[in-house]
């Protein structure tokens, strides 16, 4: 049984069913599409579900909506322990403070190229990644700083990478869009949309191969692939859903549906905007969850990660979220409706978690303030460290560019061809 986080689910349900809270009128007609949480457009579905699809066996699709209604009376009712609450809060604060600092540093000319910030989407990264083990893998997009931080890559290493410094997690060669850390199993940010999905699928295949073919019984590693709504119209997404379902790979496809792909509205560009439905089409569960609520995300993540670890296969999770800044720091963000932005700003996932933690008496204001102070200092320290760090040496320029740098980058005398003044003049004999 899957997604039993909601007590509503007692038995396998037909494909394409979405479970909602008992007071939700849509429950009586599970095949009716619900409006997206905050979209300003009316969602119209143009296709219907065939009878044969309805009859097909499992997988179950759920939206865990129990939390809103839950009355918290004793500690046993709480959705997370104090320790977990503080950990998640700290991670979300770190993500927000780090990104705000990036904006400042970018406008001061400390960073190069495009920089895409994650403000507003923190509940997705923290809700999923804080549940992982170190050996589990994360594959990101160009909006990758916060995924790397959640997975444990030190703020110093991420900031230095953004500054293009040698102490960065890719020794300054990756920059904002290419966070990577073998040690933390962060398998990359990727600038081309959809590019990370096959890499994540490959990582999940490797885990399954190690467990089932190489007989490493303790290899129960899981891979999370993060990507956006706009990416879901790319071919790699469909190819990888197919392969992951076919081979029952331990992967979770986490769609961060922030309703926009640069300046293109998701509802304008996608024939059926409910992305979660594409899971059941490939024989895996699809889940739609409020991505502004870290507790809901966490609940869904627990189920999906548990399934993958137990060898029950992949899950597609659509987290409906919102970015609080423009697409990148070069985007004036003039296309989105101010009313839409305001509606989501009022649903800030950090404010919501704070409210929950305080109202449930899990923590007090002073404890949260202490975390905020600690994170401010940590981010300040990351900036100082990055600023003072050395730039990469020129000899590093062609490393990790060619599989065999001697084939091109290094001359017969062992020197780098790029160091020959004629190289930049275009007159070198290569
Ligand atoms: C293969 C490819 N095509 C086009 C682009 C240009 N591009 C950059 S970001 C983007 C939109 C992606 O939107 P989404 O997947 O929703 O992610 P978000 O930025 O909202 O996180 C596009 C089309 C690209 N990077 N790669
Ligand atoms: Mg998007």
- In this structure, is residue 2 part of a structural domain? no
96 & 155 share domain = yes
Q: Is 254 in the pocket of ligand 1 (CB under 6 A)?
A: no
Same domain, 335 and 429: no
pLDDT at 412 over 80: no
Tens digits of residue pLDDT in 127-156: 999 999 999 999 999 999 999 999 999 999
> Is 396 inside any structural domain?
no
Distances from the Cα of 57 to the Cα of 5, 218, 313, 322, 394, angstroms: 20, 31, 15, 34, 59
Alpha-carbon distances, residue 262 vs 25, 54, 327 (angstroms): 34, 35, 5
> Are 365 and 221 contained in the same domain?
yes
Q: How far is CA 360 from CA 14, 68, 77, 87, 408, in A?
A: 36, 13, 10, 16, 62
Give the distance (Å) from ligand 2 centre to CA of residue 140: 13
Pair (172, 242) in one structural domain: yes
Pairing of strands 264-265, 251-257: unpaired
Number of domains in the chain: 2
pLDDT interval class at 59 (50, 70, 90): very low
Rounded CA separation 156/168 (Å): 7
229 lines ligand 1 (CB under 6 A): yes
Q: Looking at the structure, do residues 193 and 269 belong to the same domain, yes or no?
A: yes
d(CA 188, CA 201): 13
123 belongs to a structural domain: yes
Q: Which ligand is nearest to the CA of 263?
A: 1
Are 379 and 420 in a shared domain?
A: no
Burial (CB count within 10 angstroms: exposed 0-12, middle 13-18, buried 19+), residue 211: middle
On the question of pLDDT at 58 being above 50, the answer is no
Task: Read off the CATH number of the domain in which 169 is found.
Answer: 3.40.50.970
Answer yes or no: is 192 within a domain.
yes
151 plus 185 within the same structural domain: yes
Examine residue 33 and state whether it is found in any structural domain, yes or no: no
The reply to whether 194 and 333 lie within a common domain is: yes
Residue 218, pLDDT > 80, answer yes
Whether 421 and 289 share a structural domain: no
169 within 8 A of 385, measured Cβ to Cβ: no
Confidence of residue 49 (pLDDT cuts 50, 70, 90): very low
Structure tokens at 217: 């019984």
Please tell me the pTM assigned to this model.
0.83
Q: Round to whole Å and give the CA distance between 422 and 417.
A: 9
Judged by its nearest atom, the ligand closest to the C-alpha of residue 124 is 1
SS (H, E, C) 43-69: CCCCCCCCHHHHHCCCCCCECCCHHHH
Per the domain annotation, does 191 fall within a domain? yes
Sheet holding 137-139, edge to edge: 137-139, 223-228, 251-257, 315-320, 286-290
Is there a contact between 60 and 2 (Cβ–Cβ < 8 Å)?
yes
Based on the fold, state whether residues 259 and 155 are members of the same structural domain. Answer: yes
Q: In ligand 1, which atom is closest to the CA atom of 227? A: 15
353 and 426 housed in the same domain? no
Domain range for residue 416?
404-430
| pLDDT value of residue 361 | 95
The chain-wide mean pLDDT, for the chain, equals 84
Does 168 fall in a domain? yes
Closest CA to 46 of 220, 271, 346: 271
- Let me know if residue 255 belongs to a domain: yes
Is there a single domain that holds both residue 321 and residue 420?
no
């Amino acid at each position: 049984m899957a997604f039993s986080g909601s007590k509503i689910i007692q038995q396998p349900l037909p494909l394409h069913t979405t479970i909602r809270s008992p007071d939700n009128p849509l429950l009586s007609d599970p095949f009716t599409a619900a409006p997206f949480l905050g979209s300003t457009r009316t969602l119209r579905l143009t296709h219907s579900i065939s009878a044969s699809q309805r009859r097909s066996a499992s997988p179950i699709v759920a939206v865990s909506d129990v939390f809103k209604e839950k009355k918290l009376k004793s500690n046993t009712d709480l959705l997370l322990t104090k320790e977990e609450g503080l950990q998640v809060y700290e991670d979300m604060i770190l993500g927000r403070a780090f990104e705000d600092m990036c904006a400042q540093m970018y406008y001061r000319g400390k960073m190069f190229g495009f920089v895409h910030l994650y403000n507003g989407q923190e509940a997705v990264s923290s809700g999923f990644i804080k549940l992982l083990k170190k050996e589990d893998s994360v594959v990101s997009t160009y909006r990758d700083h916060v995924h790397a931080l959640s997975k444990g890559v030190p703020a110093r290493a991420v900031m230095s990478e953004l500054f293009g410094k040698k102490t960065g997690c890719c020794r300054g060669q990756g920059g904002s869009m290419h966070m990577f850390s073998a040690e933390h199993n962060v398998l990359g940010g990727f600038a081309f949309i959809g590019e990370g999905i096959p890499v994540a699928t490959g990582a999940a295949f490797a885990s399954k191969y190690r467990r089932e073919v190489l007989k490493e019984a303790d290899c129960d590693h899981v891979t999370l692939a993060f990507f956006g709504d706009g990416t879901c119209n790319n071919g790699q997404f469909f190819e990888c859903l197919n392969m992951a379902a076919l081979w029952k790979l331990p992967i979770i496809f986490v769609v961060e549906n922030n309703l926009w792909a640069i300046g293109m509205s998701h509802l304008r560009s996608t024939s059926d905007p409910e992305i979660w439905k594409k899971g059941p089409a490939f024989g895996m569960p699809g889940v739609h969850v409020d991505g502004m609520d870290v507790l809901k995300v966490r609940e869904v993540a627990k189920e999906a990660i548990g399934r993958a670890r137990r060898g029950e296969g992949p899950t597609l999770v659509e987290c409906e979220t919102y970015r609080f800044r423009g697409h990148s720091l070069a985007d004036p963000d003039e296309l989105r409706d101010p009313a839409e932005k305001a509606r989501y700003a009022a649903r800030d996932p950090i404010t919501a978690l704070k409210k929950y933690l305080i109202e449930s008496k899990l923590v007090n204001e002073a404890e949260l303030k202490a975390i905020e102070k600690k994170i401010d200092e940590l981010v300040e320290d990351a900036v100082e460290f990055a600023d003072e760090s050395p730039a990469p040496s020129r000899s590093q320029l062609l490393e990790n560019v060619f599989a065999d740098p001697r084939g091109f980058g290094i001359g017969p005398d062992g020197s780098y061809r790029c160091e020959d003044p004629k190289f930049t003049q275009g007159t070198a004999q290569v």
